[in-house]
Structure 1
Amino acid sequence: MSLKLYYDALSQPSRALLIFLQSSNIPFTRCVVNLGKGEHLTEEYKNEVSRFQKVPVIVHGDFRLTESVGILRYLCREYTVPDHFYPKDSKLQARVDEYLEWQHNNIRMFCALYFQKKWLLPKITGEPASEKTIAEYEHRMIDGIDNFERCWLQSGSFIAGDNLSAADIWAACELEQPRIAGYDAAEGRPILSRWLSRVRDELNPHYEEAHTFLNKLVHLNRKAKSAKL
C-alpha cells in the first residue's frame, strides 16, 4: 500500500515526520505543498487531501490522516520501526507520549507564535510588528524554552531517557524554527546545546536535509541584517 506525505519544509511537524520516515526506512512519496503560495487553501486540496487544509498529511492507500503526533502513532502501528523512536514497552512509550502531549501548549506554541509575529506575518503583510509586541512574545518563548530545558533535559541523554525518541525529533524541529526570526535557542544554554547536537548527530543526514530550506532562510536573513549595519 503506497504512502504519501504532504508537507512543507517550513512547517515544524512536517520536518519532524520527514525525518522520522527517512530514519525509519519507511518508503513514501514526497508531495510538497507550498504554504506560501496557498496551495493548501484550494478546493482540490481540501477535497482530495485534507479537510483541515493544513500540513502535514499522510495518504496511505485510501486512508487520509492529519496531525503529526497522530500520524506518528499510526505509522508505528502500521510499519516496523526502530523501537527507540516509540517504544512498545508501556512505560517507555508513556514517557514519549508525556512530552508529545506537553509540547503543544509549551514549546510548540511559544516558538511558533514568536516566529509568526516577528518574521512570518510581517513577511505576509509588509507591516513590521511593534517592538513591544515582539518583546512580549520573546519573553514568553524564553520562559518556555527555559522550562523545557529544566523539565526535560536534566536526566538522561535525551528527553525520554538514554535513547533518542520521537519526542526529541518533534522538540528539535520546534526549537529550530525561531532561528529564522533571529533567535537561537541553543545560544547561552549549554545543556540544550549539547542535547540538540546529539539529536542532529543521531539523525543525520536526514536532519540536515530536512532543515536545508530553514538554514537557507537563516543565512539570507543574517546577510540582509548585516547589509543594513
Structure 2
Amino acid sequence: MILLFSAVLAAAPAPDFETLEPVPAAVQGEAIPACTADRRWCALIEAGETDEQLVLRLYDGLPGDRTLVASHRIESENSEGFWRPGAILRRAESDDVILGADMELQAMYSGGGGMSSYRTLVRFTPGAAPQEILTVPLSGSLMIRACFGEEDMKQRAGACHDEYEFAAELKAEGDAFPPRLTYASSATTFPGRVSRSEDSLAKPPLTPKDLVKAVDAECSVRRVFTFDLATNAYVPDAPLPECGDYTVP
C-alpha cells in the first residue's frame, strides 16, 4: 500500500513517516526485526504466552544492542508483519511513536474455508503504557460450500461455493500527529448477492446470468478517522458497518 503525506507546512511540521525494513536475524530461526534505515527504531513481533497471542515490541535500536522501549500484547494467532510498506509514525523531536501491525485469521472446514486480516495501530508514548488506538479489517476471502449432491449442482448451475471477498486500504494524511487516516473498503459476493445467514439452496435455481459478482454497498465504504484526545483512540466520521460475513472466517 502507498502512504501519502502532505508537504511540510511552515506553521506546523508534518509528522515523520519512515519505512521499516527487515534486518537479518543473528541466529537462524529467530524472529526478524524491522528497523528504520538509521536503526533509530526497531520493532519485533514474537509469539506470546498462548497460541492466541502475539507480542509487539519496540526498541530504541537493534534488539540485543539497545533499550526495549515497551511491549504490547495483541490477541491474534498469526502475523502478516508490519504496516506495508512498513510504517512507523513519530512526532518530530520526540519519542512518541505509532506502529502498525497486520494480523491474520484463518479457518478451514468441510468444503470451504477462509482467511481475513486486520491492522492494529499501537501508540508508544514515553511515560505511558502502549495503547491500541485503532483496529480495522483489511482483507477477507471466504468460500462456503453450497453443493452436497448432483441435484444441488444443477440448482447452482455448477457454482458450488458461495464466495466472499473484502479488501480495504488505510492511508495517513495531513499535518497533525496522530495524523488523519482515510479508510476505503470494497466487498463482493458470488454468485450474485449471497449471505452467510441464509440457506443458498432455499433460493430459486441459478442460471448462467446469475454467475456474477455482486457489490455489497453496505460494506463498500469510505471513512475518515481522526484522533480523539479524550479516549486516546481514533474515531470515524461515521460508524463502520458490521461486515462479519467477510471478516470472520
Please tell me the TM-score bracket, short chain as reference. Answer: under 0.3
TM-score normalised by the chain length of structure 2: 0.24
Larger RCO: Structure 1 or Structure 2 (Cα < 8 Å, ≥ 6 residues apart)?
1
Query: Which structure shows the bigger proportion of residues in helix conformation?
Result: 1
TM-score normalised by the chain length of structure 1: 0.25
Query: Which structure shows the bigger proportion of residues in strand conformation?
Result: 2
